[in-house]
């Protein structure tokens, strides 16, 4: 994989992982409402679910690329379109309000990731857009999905640690932050379509 493509893969991962999504919002809301100690089961559920979903994504992409190789080319363009959609969505989005979370259980965090469409699209798009063209072995796909899940876990951990500080900064500068993130995603589309 060329360094340019690897760099764009990492940019894509960072933007997807650090922008507000269900897991990050839930983690932020939980830590601000319950603190680290009471929220810990939920956080570990989110982290564990993230890894489980990314392994499922690697197996899916491997199966598709091994048995239906033409579909991977189509998924690459679907992934590029999805990234463009994310860019537009991020550019025009506003901060989320209070989610009013009532409990902080491991299963709630774990199961959230299985219905979190964002991370499925994240994993599948990253593999089909950046990795499969260079290496489609199961080992490589699992490796890159573990990288994605690790970046996602670090991002969610950042939302947890930052708590209200991140929320206040984001609320103050969300428009500029969102536009920069959207433009960075558009750059990622160009590397997918090369």
The pLDDT value given to residue 155 = 94
The lowest-confidence range among 37-41, 56-60, 102-106, 156-160 is 102-106
Q: How far apart are CA 65 and CA 70, in angstroms?
A: 8
Q: Residue 101's pLDDT band (boundaries 50, 70, 90)?
A: very low
| pLDDT-based confidence at residue 192 (cuts at 50, 70, 90) | low
Q: Which residues contact 148 (CB under 8 A, 6 or more apart)?
A: 13, 17, 54, 122, 123, 126
Higher per-residue pLDDT: 6 or 83: 6
Average pLDDT over residues 172-181: 79
What pLDDT, on the 0 to 100 scale, is given for residue 184?
75
Residue 69 domain boundaries: 3-193
Burial 72-81 (b: 16+ CB within 10 A, else e): beebbebbbe
pLDDT: which is higher, 59 or 90: 59
What is the C-alpha separation between 126 and 135, in angstroms, rounded?
13
pLDDT-based confidence at 13, cuts 50/70/90? very high
Taking the model in full, what pTM does it have? Answer: 0.73
Tally of structural domains, the chain = 1
Between residues 89 and 19, the one the model is more confident about: 19
pLDDT digits (tens, 9 = 90+) for 50-65: 999 999 999 988 888 7
The pLDDT-based confidence of 100 (bands split at 50, 70, 90) is: very low
Computed over every residue of the chain, the mean pLDDT equals: 82
Region 117-127: mean pLDDT is: 86
């Amino acid at each position: 994989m060329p360094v340019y493509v690897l760099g764009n893969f990492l940019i894509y991962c960072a933007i997807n992982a650090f922008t507000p999504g269900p897991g990050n919002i839930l983690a932020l809301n939980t830590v601000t409402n319950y603190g680290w100690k009471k929220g810990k089961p939920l956080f570990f559920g989110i982290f564990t679910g993230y890894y489980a979903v990314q392994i499922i994504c690697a197996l899916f992409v491997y199966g598709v690329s091994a048995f239906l190789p033409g579909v991977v080319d189509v998924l690459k363009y679907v992934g590029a379109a999805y990234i463009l959609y994310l860019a537009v969505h991020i550019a025009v989005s506003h901060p989320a309000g209070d989610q009013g979370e009532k409990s902080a259980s491991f299963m709630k965090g774990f199961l959230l990731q299985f219905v979190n469409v964002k991370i499925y699209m994240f994993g599948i798009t990253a593999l089909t857009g950046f990795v499969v063209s260079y290496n489609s072995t199961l080992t490589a796909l699992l490796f890159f999905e573990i990288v994605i899940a690790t970046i996602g876990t670090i991002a969610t951990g950042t939302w947890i640690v930052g708590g209200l500080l991140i929320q206040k900064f984001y609320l103050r500068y969300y428009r500029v932050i969102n536009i920069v993130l959207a433009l960075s995603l558009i750059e990622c589309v160009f590397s997918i379509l090369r």
